[in-house]
Amino acid sequence: MNTTNKKVIVYSTPTCPFCVYAKDYFKKNNVPFEDIDVTKDQAKAKEMVERSGQMGVPVIAIDNDIVIGFQPEVFAELLSK
């Protein structure tokens, strides 16, 4: 995967299993990402809803693309663009 120029943000909560799966996916594939706990940062929670239209987590931003939920096939496709 060509990930050197991709900015990845994972909007998550500590109790969300799919958030853990998403973060594990990026770790296993050596993709640097920013993990934002939306339970601790209301401004970032608002940003997540504005970007995605979703209240649920995980919301993953890969550059300007938004992925809702744990979708490794979509992650791989976006990271290889």
Sketch out the chain's domains with CATH numbers: 8-80 (3.40.30.10)
pLDDT in tens, 13-33: 999 999 999 999 999 999 999
The encoded tokens of residue 14 equal 């500590």
- 42 phi and psi angles, rounded to 5 deg: -65, -35
Task: Give pLDDT tens digits for 38-51.
Answer: 999 999 999 999 99
The model's pTM: 0.92
- The rounded distance, in Å, linking the Cα atoms of 33 and 62 is 9
